[in-house]
A and B are shown apart, each in its own frame.
Chain A
Amino acid sequence: MTHDTVIRTDDLEVTYTGKREVTALNGVSVDFSENKLTAIIGPSGCGKSTLLKSLNRLHEIQPNAEITGEVYLEDDPVYETDEPLPEIRRRVGYVPQKPTPLPVSIYNNVAYGPKIHGDYSREELDDIVETQLRKVNLWSEVEDRLDSPGAELSTGQIQRLCLARSLAAEPDVLLCDEVTSALDPISAEQVEETLADLKEEYTIVMVTHSMEQAKRLADDVIFLYLGDVIETNDARTFFENPQNERTQEFVEGHAAVEYDDGDDTAPDSTADAPPAE
Chain B
Amino acid sequence: MDRYAEQRLFGFLARASAALIVAVLLLVVGVTIFRGGRVFLTDPAVAITPPGSRYMLDGGGGFLHAVLGSLFIVVPATVVATTLSLSTAVFLQSDYSSERTSDVINMFLNVLWGTPPIVYGVFVLTVIIAVGAQTSLIFGIVAIAIFQYPIMTRYADEALQSAPDAVKEASYGLGATRFETARVTIRAALPGIIAGVIMGFARGIGDAATVLFTAGRSTQMPGGPFEPATTLPILIFEQAASFNAEVRSHAYAASFVLIVAVLALIIASKLLAGRYARFAPGGRQ
Query: A residues near B, CB below 8 A?
Result: 56, 58, 61-63, 86-91, 93-98, 100-105, 112-113, 116-117, 149-152, 162, 165-166, 169, 175
Contact = CB atoms under 8 A, between A and B. Distances in A.
Interface string B70-82: 0000000000000
Contacts of A98: 164, 166
B172 A162 contact: no
A91 B190 CA distance: 30
Interface stretch (B108-116, B213-221, B275-283): B275-283
A97 B188 CA distance: 18
B99 A151 contact: no
B168 A61 contact: yes
A95 B188 contact: no
Interface in B78-119: 94-95, 98-99
B169 to A, nearest CB: 5
Given A87-B175, A151-B278, 7 more contacts: A93-B174, A94-B174, A96-B169, A102-B188, A116-B174, A151-B281, A169-B175
B173 A96 contact: yes
B272 to A, nearest CB: 14
A103 B173 contact: no
A101 B281 contact: yes
Given A96-B169, A100-B170, A90 B175 contact: yes
Contact of B279 (A87, A88, A150): A150
A210 B171 CA distance: 27
Contact of A89 (B99, B173, B188, B276): B173
Given A63-B98, A100-B164, A89 B172 contact: yes
B177 interface: yes
Contact of B188 (A58, A103, A112, A117): A103
Nearest to A94: B173
A58 B172 contact: yes
B176 interface: yes
A95 B13 CA distance: 48
B167 interface: yes
Contacts of B166: 96-98, 100
A95 B166 CA distance: 10
Contacts of B184: 102-103
Interface-centre pick from B98, B99, B171 (highest chain A CB count, 10 A)? B171
Contacts of B176: 86, 112, 116
B174 A104 contact: no
B238 interface: no
A147 to B, nearest CB: 11
Contacts of A117: 175
Contacts of B167: 100, 102-103
A50 to B, nearest CB: 14
